[in-house]
Amino acid sequence: MQKQRTERPAGSSYASQNPLLRIWGWGKDEHGRLIGAVISALIAVVLGMMPYFAAAQVIIGMLAGEKDLSFYLPWLGLGLAGYAARTLLYNMALSVSHKATFSILKNIRQRILEKLPKLPLGTVMDMSSGKMKQIIVDQVDGMETTLAHLFPELTANIAGPLFIVVCLFVLDWRMALLSIVTLPVGMAFMMSVMGSYAKNYEGAVKTTQEMNGTIVEYIGGIEVIKAFNQGKSSYAKFADRVKANAAYYYNWMKKSQFGVSMGYSIVPASLVTILPVGWLWYRNGSLPVETFIMVIILSLGIAGPLIAAMNFVDTLATVGTTVASVDELLSAEEQHHGDKEVRIKGKDIELSHVSFGYHEDKNILRDVSLSIPAGRMTALVGPSGSGKSTIAKLIAGFWDVKDGTVSMGGVDEKKIPLEQLYDQVAFVSQDNYLFDESVRDNIRMGRLSASDKEVEAAAKAAGCDAFIRSLEKGYETNVGGGGASLSGGEKQRISIARAMLKDAPIVILDEETAFADPDNEAKVQAAFSVLAKGKTVLMIAHRLSTVTGADRIVVVKDGKIEDTGTHGQLKDKDGLYAEMWRQYNKAAKWKVGVSNA
């Protein structure tokens, strides 16, 4: 199997890198602004000390009985200038760091959204929409605090107290030690909580993802819930997840309350040691009053910034989980295809000794070899879960095969760039997903450059022009999320119109009449006949009546090719297809309330 290309640099592992370094790497285009913000914050810290020095000098002058205003004015001016300069530089630092941060978050989201189409469909399908939303929206937003505040603010909040402590040691080393004695005691209480923060946060992310997934499931299935009167049981599951999420956070905060409260109480209590001991030293003459006052004033500036810095501890603890979630997407293996457009000589398809499974421990297809001739209709039939849709999606390039090859026009699909490969195939799925846009824009998804006339021509060919024009706003009618305002048959015909507009040489129809009533089925079949004309067609259907006219029918069972042939050939054999045909005809005769024994 050809190795997948990843973004991982040689000799390194994302899992082993420091989360802050990963974020720093994502923001490499904004390093200049972030560094500038940190420098501005540091200068602001130094200037922010000037009011403390000025206040101390004013108090010393007052105690000395100084009454001359000319003594106080310079100190008052110095304090005011320092405060103004500190405020200006600090706000400037935050402004710059926020601009840089929002640019980085935009780039991260763009990288994720650019990454998703490159991933195998199975990788994306394994992630719930709730989890995807939490990563792209909530967790990327969660990095705003780290980038915009952590770098400038944490730097300033640590540098400020350090600068004060240095000044205190210059004034009197004994008083300096007294001013910081409460710090380790308070920090010990804080660390008793923060030591398990990363683990607790990881659990919080998990329970929130489970809640989000349940909410999405509940809202998405509300129609079925009401139709089958399962509101009570379904709401109970929804309510249980919400309550479990709330209970987790409540219990977590309850466990943390004592340690956090003690830490916040003890850290700022430096005057508890400074005042009594300093007074004794002042009384016995070993501490000048000027130094005593200066120490009291300066010590008041230690606790505030440190407490603010401690508020970032939870941010640091959550960074690892956040970065791991984002990296789960950004570092996922991509489909590896050629970079240069290749010449595809025909429209035939061939699978050679293909084994494939969505998970490594279980193969759905086992040694499948199959030729699909150009310009003909090939039908895949078989029991549910036999691998029919998997074959179709491998041909469409939704996954890359692990063992064996899938070729198109004699070219291994792995050598065909994904964009070129997707242009070769029109896939009409049983899901028939429509975007929350107008009918016209949904059809135009087949070819974005198409004119309005071309869109309407495709709709006429698909047999849906009449019903579209009967809608309130015609082609400009919004279909709602997933095409909620349309019937299943209408959505199918719009999907076929989209495929017609694409005009790809290979057409794959997966359960194209799954939702159709007899009238709609006839319209869908007529639209399909127009779409399939002159193309290589692969059809999957459970209604065997829809494939009786296929040029070739392939019977799939347990991930293997059971048999091939025309309808006439297969129904006369004593095989799986003949049994399916008998059961199909028997079911067609069933009537509600009538015994068919």
Q: Which residues contact 231 (CB under 8 A, 6 or more apart)?
A: 225
Closest to 368 in 3D by CA, of 409, 415, 401, 335: 401
Model pLDDT for residues 146-200, shown as the tens digit of each residue: 778 877 888 888 888 888 888 889 988 998 898 888 888 887 887 777 777 767 8
Q: Which residues contact 484 (CB under 8 A, 6 or more apart)?
A: none
In whole angstroms, give the CA distance from residue 322 to residue 319: 5
Q: What is the pLDDT of residue 73?
A: 92
Residue pair 304/268 in contact by the 8 Å Cβ criterion: yes
Q: What is the mean pLDDT of residues 411-427?
A: 89
**Which amino acid type is present at position 60?**
I
In whole angstroms, give the CA distance from residue 312 to residue 310: 5
Model pLDDT for residues 465-498, shown as the tens digit of each residue: 988 999 989 999 998 876 777 877 788 888 888 9
Q: What is the pLDDT of residue 126?
A: 66
Q: What is the pLDDT of residue 139?
A: 78
Mean pLDDT for all residues in the chain: 81
Q: What is the pLDDT of residue 441?
A: 93
Model pLDDT for residues 66-91, shown as the tens digit of each residue: 888 888 899 999 999 999 998 999 88
**Percentage above 90 pLDDT, the chain:** 17
Q: What is the pLDDT of residue 2?
A: 37
**Within 13 Å, how many C-alpha atoms sit on residue 247's CB side?**
7
Per-residue three-class SS string for 89-123: HHHHHHHHHHHHHHHHHHHHHHHHHHHHHHCCHHH
In whole angstroms, give the CA distance from residue 114 to residue 145: 24
Residue pair 112/326 in contact by the 8 Å Cβ criterion: yes
Residue pair 536/375 in contact by the 8 Å Cβ criterion: yes
In whole angstroms, give the CA distance from residue 282 to residue 475: 89
Q: Is residue 13's pLDDT more than 50?
A: no
E strands, 357-497, are 365-372, 377-381, 403-408, 411-412, 425-428
In whole angstroms, give the CA distance from residue 230 to residue 221: 10
Model pLDDT for residues 383-393, shown as the tens digit of each residue: 888 889 889 98
Q: What is the pLDDT of residue 563?
A: 92
* DSSP-assigned letter for residue 546: G
pTM of the model: 0.62
Percent of the chain as helix, strand, coil, to the nearest 5: 65, 10, 25
* 23-37, 116-130, 494-508: range with lowest mean pLDDT: 116-130
Give the DSSP H or E segment for 539. Answer: strand 536-540
Q: What is the pLDDT of residue 15?
A: 44
Residue 289 Cα to chain centre, angstroms: 61
